[in-house]
Structure 1
Amino acid sequence: MSQKALVIETAKAPFIIKSVPILKPGAGELLVRIMAVALNPVDHAIQARDALPNVKYPAILGCDVAGIVEEIGQGVEEHAKGDRVFFNPDWRANHGGFQQYTVISVDHLAKIPPQISYAEAASIPLTFCTAVIPLLAANPIGAGLNPTFDPTVSFKADSALVIGGSSSPYSSSNTSAIAKSSPIASSKHSDYLKSIGATHVIDRTTLVYVAYVQPWSIMEIGYACLAHGGQMATAHPSPPKPEDAEATGRKTYGVFASTRIPSNIEFGKLMWKNISKLLEDGIIKPNRVEHVPNGLAGIAGALPRFEGGSAGVSGVKLVVNPQETL
């Protein structure tokens, strides 16, 4: 049996659609028919610039997947054919979402609550991991705020400053669920941010004291906002360690936003075990989504939008249905 997949044959090669085999689920795995895959800047960075190390080619990318279970592997008891699930696939093993079917371990997925669409579910995995791993996972991976991912733990007496507040990680994790938050974002997203619990929204466009800020400078600004003993989580995997860190007790945590890498696997299992209930109860919310037409054929044209910053993609996740591929 074969399927259609969007493939990068060699580093920096253009995307092509080709027929590839449909994988068989092994023990403890499911075969999933992909109904939605969200696009991310990392997908464009890998194809255009070969931006991550150790990518094996030919490569099938796609970090955020939602779909329907088609086949059950040996030993799987808690899932059945027809279940709606979402997950962060192992794209390095060519199990990514830019294809019509993939396999996934039952330890790294969750069921989609009835009120959540496939597209909404696909908007969650990578961005949620980006937010919660550096905040909740145990040291040295993260700040250790909730290493057991106990859904009853609350930090509403604490405060958080979110730089890039309308970005997908803030929106999907609903940081206000664990702390009072003041995101920095453009004013056009202020109503949306307050609807998911922000206490204050600081418009990043009105006061132009700095004409251009490098990514490292943003982290330095965030660090400067910390009180003694404060902690900063960043989406950059290798944040700088300032010279005064030990004296002030301030700490920084970066993240490789996947529950599939060895350091994150055990925390990831806890996260996937609890995330469905958090979604069902409205404690966390999916991102707003924008449908990209033409299935896998629409991806190559949509990914360059990430080069435009907020002018290209802002406040939404771009989502494709691979089953629409002609």
Structure 2
Amino acid sequence: MPIPDTQKALVLPAKQADFVIHSISVPKPGPGQLLVKIHAVALNPVEWKIQKTGIIVHEFPAIIGMDIAGTVEKLGDGVEHFTLGDRVVSEGQFAIPHAGFQQYTITNADVTAKIPDSVTFEQASTIPVGLVTAALGLFTPTVPTGSDFGSAGLQAPWQDSGHGAYAGKPFLIFGGASSVGQYVIQLAKLSGFSPIITTASLHNADLLRSLGATHVLDRKLSLEQLRQEIAKISTGALDIIYDAVSLPDTQLAAYELLAPGGTLVLVLYPAIPTERLQQGKNVVKAFGQANLPEENRVVSAKLFSKLTVWLEEGMIKPNRVEVLPGGLEGILDGLDRLRNNRVSGVKLVAHPQETV
């Protein structure tokens, strides 16, 4: 089927405006890029925050959405290892023409991976933001001086020296049932950490154990109760804690449990009271964007180069999926549900091609 000249897109016309569906041009890929027909796009909490609070995106009209799965429709100059019709997954950007809340998008080939036959478009679309945020927060070797994001700087499991490198060391995750938390668990397992302890609602315990968690603790436990339960599991120092929730109370609890000299990775900006800070405990904020800055792009390219094999071998498992009806229109209800905390243990996914 020929590529159309126009497509449907869910457009944010102005800061904090209501979304509207418009017809816009189908973009053309530049060097090193792919034109992808989007078959599934997954939703993230940051997207309702952009629309309701006006953060991050400052040029309008805008298209957002980052979790993209679809088929390759056109190759830019210099692209290798992809052919027309390939099923692929990639992380978009909050910018026209690279965003996901539309029917066609442009992706950078080096941070795009083929989807194995065993994984659906819907499942694949749950991967990019969650996995990239998890990986960059753990494995980016260096970040630019003065950046407001950072990393634990661990050896990455896609390197021979990093696979299983942390055997016998305990790892703690707050919010293991979140999309990011699920991928943190899996990367911790690939890195050899054990035990892998996570907090979550207990109805998600079986899911999290299937991903690699060895112990699931009730997210409602107090700090002192968490301390007692963790002590029963491991006497090892908690040198790495990943807080995939990063609300003020979880940040403080994680920080108190962190060993001196250890690193706490957050997905939101630090909110630990100044009077509780201790010298030697490191706190960093992950920035889950594969395409930029250059340090992220380099690390993410290595991650995406391994992703197809990891999916084929079941070493990385996608999030559970709930499909939203109504194409791009269905995204509106999905974002409202995310805003009102009415989603647990699944990733909401829309089908842009079903847009009326």
Fold match (TM-score > 0.5): yes
Output the CA distance in 1 between the equivalents of 2:285 and 2:158: 18
Question: Which residue of the partner structure matches residue 346 of structure 2?
Answer: 316
SS at match of 1:145: coil
SS of residue matched to 2:206: helix
> How far apart, CA to CA, are the structure 1 residues paired with 2:260 and 2:246?
25
Alpha carbons of 1:285 and 1:85: their partners in 2 closer, same or farther (altered >3 Å)?
same
Alignment of structure 1 residues 203-218 onto 2, 5 Å: 203-205=218-220, 215-218=247-250
In the other structure, the counterpart of 1:131 is: 134
Query: For residues 106 and 339 of structure 2, what CA distance do their matches in structure 1 show?
Result: 31
For the pair 1:12 / 2:25, whether they are aligned, the reply is no
Equivalent pair of 2:258/2:281 in contact (CA under 8 Å)? yes
1:81 alignment partner, SS class: coil
Query: Displacement of 1:77 after TM fit?
Result: 2.3
The answer on 1:259 being equivalent to 2:308 is no
- Alignment-derived partner of residue 242 in structure 2: none
The residue number in structure 1 matching 2:73 is 70
| Whole-Å separation in 2 of the counterparts to 1:10 and 1:240 | 34
State whether structure 2 residue 122 is matched by structure 1 residue 112.
no
> 1:275: how far off?
1.7
Please state how far the C-alpha of 1:209 moved relative to its aligned partner: 8.8
Which letter maps to 1:25? P
How far residue 283 of structure 1 moved from its aligned partner, in angstroms, is 1.4
How has the CA–CA distance of structure 1 residues 287 and 148 changed in structure 2, closer, same or farther, with 3 Å as cutoff?
closer
What does 1:147-296 correspond to in 2, within 5 Å?
147=156, 149-150=158-159, 153-154=163-164, 155-173=166-184, 174=186, 175-178=188-191, 179-180=193-194, 181-205=196-220, 215-238=247-270, 247=279, 249-262=280-293, 263-296=295-328
Fraction of identical pairs, as percent: 38
Q: 1:117 to 1:126 in 2, by over 3 A?
A: same
Report if aligned partners of 2:11, 2:61 keep a CA contact under 8 Å in 1.
yes
Q: TM-score, normalised by structure 1?
A: 0.91
The root-mean-square deviation of aligned C-alpha atoms, in Å, is 2.3
CA distance in 2, matches of 1:208, 1:161: 13
Q: Is contact 2:163–2:190 with CA below 8 Å preserved after alignment?
A: no
For 1:192, give the aligned amino acid. L
Tell me if the contact between 1:292 and 1:299 (Cα under 8 Å) persists in the aligned partners. Answer: yes
Unmatched runs of 5 consecutive residues or more in structure 1: none
Cα deviation, 1:38-81, whole Å, max 9, x if unaligned, reads: 011111111111122x5311111111000000111112121100
Normalized against structure 2, the TM-score is what? 0.84
Write the letter of the residue equivalent to 1:169.
V
Deviation, 1:94, is 3.7
Residue 183 of structure 1 aligns to a residue whose secondary structure is strand
Find the counterpart in structure 1 of residue 332 from structure 2.
Answer: 300
Deviation sequence 1:209-268 (CA, Å, 0-9, x none) = 99xx99223212101111122221111145659678774x32122112101221412111
Unaligned runs of 5+ in 2: 144-149, 226-244
**How many residues were matched structurally?**
320
